[in-house]
Chains A and B, each alone.
Chain A
């Protein structure tokens, strides 16, 4: 029975490569194998602050965390209420501004997703992800 089990498992594992490779080919232009976020799409807190008034801070965290505290002037735009919040965000947006999206920390991915959707779905340019997120902001205040 054991050899049968191993044979079956190996066969399934091998079969899964076929659609997996097909999908990798299909998405070849949409994902980088080198880095989750290209360096050109990341921004440090110092850089973002240097942009001054030209920066729109976007808070991608859940509503409750935003209400507790956020970067002054930040606009709430999370995936939970994307359809509702996007029009409100677009009112504040203008083409010359740079959008800096943050979530709770370096390890969260909400900011990446919101940034990606702003680029792909809202067709915005100059959208960046804040390195270190909200935690980095808190550290800079100490």
Chain B
């Protein structure tokens, strides 16, 4: 019984850490959406108008999904959106690298401005792994709390 409680506690910590990371990342970008629009534009994938729209929208989506993980409401929805966002971001980062673009990722605002490509990728893969682990654990049923 104590073992089960310990395992639940560990998963809860993972929820809090991952949710906290996305709340932090979203808040930093929500505070400076113009800079985030420039960061999106640097990938040279989307027209500027869409980059601006996403710069206003995505930070709040990250924050809401992060909150969903922490309060365990809309849990699987939050996990699936965040997983999709991280996958898209990993692909966009790799594509930018392949195309030789000198980009600022913008994922954690100014703090991440000079992170290396491998640093970005390692962090993204770690977050994706944590999200997938939470998803599999949540989908298995016994720790999922549907609305």
A residues near B (Cβ < 8 Å) are 1, 4-13, 15-21, 23-24, 27, 30-31, 33-36, 62, 79-80, 104-105, 107-110, 112-113, 116
Contact of B77 among A12, A18, A33, A35 (CB under 8 A): A12
In the complex, 22 of the A-B residue pairs with CB atoms within 8 angstroms, ordered by the A residue number, are A1-B139, A4-B76, A4-B146, A5-B76, A5-B77, A8-B68, A9-B80, A9-B81, A11-B74, A12-B74, A16-B61, A20-B61, A24-B56, A30-B34, A79-B110, A80-B114, A104-B102, A107-B44, A107-B102, A109-B41, A110-B104, A113-B35
Majority DSSP secondary structure for residues of A touching B: helix
Q: B113 contacts the other chain (Cβ, under 8 Å)?
A: yes
Which residues on B sit within 8 Å (CB–CB) of A36? 37-38, 41, 48, 51
Q: B19 contacts the other chain (Cβ, under 8 Å)?
A: no
- Interchain Cβ contacts within 8 Å, total number: 101
Majority DSSP secondary structure for residues of B touching A: helix
How many residues on B have C-beta within 8 angstroms of the other chain's C-beta atoms?
A: 41
Cα(A10)–Cα(B61), bound, Å: 11
Contact of A27 among B56, B80, B104 (CB under 8 A): B56
Known contacts A24-B56, A107-B42, A108-B42; A7/B64 CB under 8 A: no
Which residues on B sit within 8 Å (CB–CB) of A108? 42, 102-104
A8 touches B147 (CB 8 A): yes
Q: What 6 A-B pairs have minimum CB-CB distances, sorted nearest first?
A: A8-B77, A16-B61, A9-B77, A20-B57, A8-B74, A109-B38
